[in-house]
């Protein structure tokens, strides 16, 4: 059997699709599984994963000639089934069905459902991981196993991550990782307010003496670096390192704090306790998955919240009030105990 898994959204979306790939490998261990992604980081996230046989990178939407050529080129693989992990537009299903010649399309969709042999219904109240696995079960006829996230992490990446931490004077397993940024299209709206992040750092200094804080900046976040300077022996920066090293650093954290973006999904996949600050997005659907993944939102929802999928999405006229109003005490109340536990002691002061 030849199976294609199509996921052309961002890194976090790809992490949420990994359980589908793992379930396919569990049910069909001899199948040839091809993962189709868009972008170098997405490819790097899954490079070397034993649950897939090959990874293909597709062109950008604007490159129409290349895009059509890419889908025509898929015909040579003679896929028996394509699972689509995106569902905003039916274009992907149409191209896979008509241009790539895949007869069986599986995925979640509220539009052009006739393109799909098995189509699940989109429900924002249900986490996307659970929903995608249910949709997969429509095709397999088998109840899905508990979600698993077998993200690859090479020995070299692990060694490079530990070496980077050592250079920064950070001991693996005992530090707080904070990612204050987010993807470019929602940089201002999804980002953690700098004052909130700095207040949390101050609480860590006071209540867990000796604990280190690693502030992580990707290529879309470098403009935030000056807001956290100067760095010192307690608070250090990891700036724009390769994704495999980023994964290794996240896997060693005692706790992770971020917005509803990719690094939280990656940290949760490695079993790290995560706290996600959510405002514009729908955390019931897109939060990091797992029992150790917590979400904080504004106490009372604003009329415009969440704006994801609306005309305000990416154009907030309220200076991201939904993020600014998240209670800092609630944030430290989740982070301080996890960090103190990693150091084998109670916080120096009771978190308020």
How do residues 317-338 score in pLDDT, each as one tens digit? Answer: 888 889 999 999 999 999 999 9
Are 131 and 204 contained in the same domain? no
pLDDT for position 252: 97
| pLDDT for res 346 | 63
Q: Sign of the CA dihedral 258, 259, 262, 265?
A: positive
Residue 98 has a pLDDT of 94
Range of the domain at 168: 159-342
In a domain, 310, yes or no: yes
Of 177, 196, 156, 144, nearest in space to 20 by CA: 144
- Are residues 307 and 297 in contact, defined by beta-carbon separation less than 8 angstroms? no
Q: What is the pLDDT of residue 60?
A: 85
Beta bridge partners of 84: 6, 107
What's the pLDDT at 316? 82
Taking only the tens place, the pLDDT of each residue in 28-81 is 999 999 999 998 999 999 999 999 999 999 998 778 899 999 999 999 999 999
The tally of domains found in the chain comes to: 2
pLDDT given at position 348 = 57
Tokens at 66, concatenated: 């290349």
Would 21 be classed as within a structural domain?
yes
Specify burial of residue 329 (Cβ count, 10 A radius: 0-12, 13-18, 19+).
exposed
Residue 277: which CATH number? 3.40.50.2000
Listed as ranges, residues in the chain with pLDDT below 70 are 88-89, 183-188, 345-352
348 within some domain: no
């Amino acid at each position: 059997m030849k199976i294609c898994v199509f996921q052309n959204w961002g890194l976090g979306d790809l992490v949420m699709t990994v359980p589908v790939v793992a379930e396919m490998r569990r049910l069909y261990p001899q199948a040839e599984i091809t993962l189709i992604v868009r972008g170098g980081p997405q490819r790097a996230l899954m490079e070397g994963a034993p649950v897939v046989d090959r990874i293909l990178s597709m062109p950008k939407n604007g490159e129409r000639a290349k895009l059509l050529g890419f889908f025509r080129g898929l015909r040579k693989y003679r896929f028996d089934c394509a699972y689509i992990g995106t569902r905003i537009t039916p274009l992907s299903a149409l191209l896979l069905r008509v241009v790539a010649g895949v007869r069986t399309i599986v995925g979640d969709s509220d539009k052009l459902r006739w393109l799909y042999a098995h189509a699940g219904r989109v429900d924002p109240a249900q986490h996307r991981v659970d929903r995608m696995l249910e949709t997969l079960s429509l095709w397999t006829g088998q109840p899905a196993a508990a979600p698993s996230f077998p993200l690859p992490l090479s020995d070299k990446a692990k060694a490079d991550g530990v070496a980077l931490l050592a250079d920064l004077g950070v001991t693996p397993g005992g530090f707080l990782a904070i990612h204050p940024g987010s993807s470019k299209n929602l940089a201002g709206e999804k980002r953690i307010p700098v004052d909130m992040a700095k207040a949390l750092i101050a609480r860590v200094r006071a209540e867990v003496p000796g604990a280190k804080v690693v502030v992580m900046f990707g290529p879309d976040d470098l403009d935030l670096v000056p807001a956290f300077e100067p760095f010192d022996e307690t608070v250090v920066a990891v700036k724009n390192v390769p994704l495999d090293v980023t994964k290794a650093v996240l896997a060693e954290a005692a706790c992770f704090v971020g917005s509803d973006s990719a690094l939280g999904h990656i940290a949760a996949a490695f079993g790290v306790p995560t706290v996600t600050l959510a405002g514009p997005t729908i955390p019931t659907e897109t939060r990091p998955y797992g029992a150790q993944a917590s979400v904080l939102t504004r106490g009372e929802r604003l009329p415009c919240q969440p704006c994801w999928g609306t005309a305000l999405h990416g154009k907030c006229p309220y200076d991201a009030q939904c993020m600014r109003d998240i209670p800092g005490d609630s944030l430290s109340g989740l982070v301080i105990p996890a960090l103190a536990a990693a150091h084998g002691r109670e916080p120096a002061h009771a978190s308020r």
